[in-house]
Amino acid sequence: MPAGLQNSTMPTKLKSTASTANDLPPIPAGFSLPFYYHSLQDCELFFCVPPRILAPYLQGTGLEVALFEGRGAASFNFQNYTAQFAGFDSVVLEIECNILAYPASRRHEVPRLTFAEFLSGQDQTRLIGHHHFAVACTNTNAVQAGIQLFGEPKFLANINPNTPSPNSPGVETWSWVCSDYDAANPGSQTPLIFSTALDVRGLPSELSSASPITEYGRAQRQLIAARWNIFGDYTTYRATPRQALPVKMTYGTSQQPMRTDLQHIIGDAPCVAARLFQSAPVATQARSFYVNPKRR
């Protein structure tokens, strides 16, 4: 059994009694939905993984491994987002580790797709989605929201990114360092859970439509799904038949199950795609000028 499966990533077996068609999971006190993102960067890397490695992580969830020409896929996505509330603003970094899966009860409705077709948004059923086996996050409130609203296996961690943005457009080597949580020192990178780097210089890209993205979780010991609506397109980089994307994965010594599971699931598997969404700026502050310049 993979190391993390004997810890928090192994889901509780589903109830045998199904809910009626009109039932929705309750919204816990203190929360409201939908949740509005005021800005979002989402960067996801996909890896080709044999189904036999992925299947044990879906045991008892009601989900099955999505296959693309006989191959399974795992991913992790880095998010940097902000949200505004009446009395405060929230800034959140998180990394979701995923297995692409669909509900076993709907298997006859799942389209047969190549991975390139999936990336371009051709699964119009939106049954193929993310099963989170770990979610690292820097914000206490976001951890509680993820657990209580969406049944995510979410925990506090340090995340130190280096990714492009409208204010840092020249970043061509994307990287993330995820390590054990240190509230007093968020820049700490030890003990390391994992780090990764992707060099996109010279890589061809294309626009792709991924939204909505289906995210699976658990509530009251039952399988639930929520739609993540991305208001825009992704920039997508895909591997060629002869060459995987230039990604370097490094695993640390942290005892966090996310590290052991990532190392078991992804290890040194080839990276077959990467995609980046960046929400549009809503305003700019332009350069200043002299109101009464001196005449020469």
Strand partners, 228: 213
**Are 208 and 119 in contact, with CB atoms under 8 Å apart?**
yes
Nearest Cα to 132, choosing from 11, 33, 42? 11
Residue ranges of E strands in 66-172:
72-84, 89-103, 129-137, 154-162
**Residue-range domains of the chain with CATH:** 36-278 (2.40.400.10)
At residue 105, the 3 state secondary structure works out as helix
Tell me how far apart the terminal alpha carbons of the chain are, to the nearest angstrom.
Answer: 79
pLDDT at residue number 8? 42
Residue 4's SS3 state is helix
Tell me the two tokens of residue 61.
């969830």
List 91's β-bridge partners, or say none: 82
Q: Residue 115 belongs to what H/E stretch?
A: helix 115-119
Query: Cis peptide before 103, with omega less than 30 degrees from 0?
Result: no
Specify the amino acid at residue 182: D
Count Cβ atoms below 10 Å from residue 132 Cβ, excluding itself: 21
pTM of the model: 0.90
Tell me which residues of the chain have a pLDDT lower than 70: 1-22, 296
